[in-house]
Chains A and B, each alone.
Chain A
Amino acid sequence: GAVVSQHPSWVICKSGTSVKIECRSLDFQATTMFWYRQFPKQSLMLMATSNEGSKATYEQGVEKDKFLINHASLTLSTLTVTSAHPEDSSFYICSVPPGTGLSNQPQHFGDGTRLSIL
């Protein structure tokens, strides 16, 4: 069964709306989760590392105020796209790593959220 649950799977909304995407780790506790963005026919770009109980770590070029990340519990991280505009339309995917020091184990990915801003 699924290890990571991401919700919603598809969002269509008007420009200026804020959209929240949830990522849940179903089988184990996750102190860290990753948020990726994928443009059509392109690779995944790491946006930020979500850290339970502390601030997220953003990759260079990613706007912190635009993409708010909250990792309030060991099983839930949320990404809020604030005041979304058409250029924010993309496929957003979260992942849960197996744990610190376990880089030889695969990450578990959510099914992604397709965000379309009109």
Chain B
Amino acid sequence: GDSVTQMEGPVTLSEEAFLTINCTYTATGYPSLFWYVQYPGEGLQLLLKATKADDKGSNKGFEATYRKETTSFHLEKGSVQVSDSAVYFCALGNTDKLIFGTGTRLQVFP
């Protein structure tokens, strides 16, 4: 069945460092891909999405490109801030349901 594999955390970075969180997927058909962010004690917020191959989703300085050839959707940001500290979930949508990765905790220190 469909699945999402996400790099384990925590990822610990200094402010202004470059961020990459890896995400790969297995799916039939043509899924949509999402990154959600969860701040402490809160629900999930959509960060960005891509609906077809080679699409690039971007928001708040974060980017991810839908790579069908490598079945990947890695999240990147050129310069992280302390306020980016949160848990990031990669997710796949192939029907009405979402399949989540295990989440990656990002900790950014000043």
A residues neighboring B (CB under 8 Å): 6, 32, 34, 41-44, 46, 49, 93, 95, 97, 100, 102-107, 109-112, 114
Contacts and interface: CB of A to CB of B under 8 A. Distances in A.
Contacts, number: 55
B43 interface: yes
Contacts of A95: 44, 98
Contacts of A97: 96
B43 A6 contact: yes
A111 B96 CA distance: 20
Given A42-B103, A103-B96, A106-B34, A93 B51 contact: no
Given A93-B44, A112-B42, A104 B102 contact: no
B44 A43 contact: no
A34 B43 contact: no
Interface string B20-43: 000000000001101010000111
Contacts of A49: 96-97
B73 interface: no
Q: Bin the interface of chain B by size.
A: 20 to 34
A34 B42 contact: no
A109 B45 contact: yes
B34 A46 contact: no
A105 B46 CA distance: 10
A43 B94 CA distance: 18
Contacts of A93: 43-44
A109 B42 CA distance: 10
Contacts of B32: 103-105
A106 B105 CA distance: 21
B94 A103 contact: yes
Contacts of B95: 103
With a 10 A CB-CB cut-off, give which of B42, B49, B98, B103 has the most chain A CB atoms. B98
Contacts of B49: 104, 106
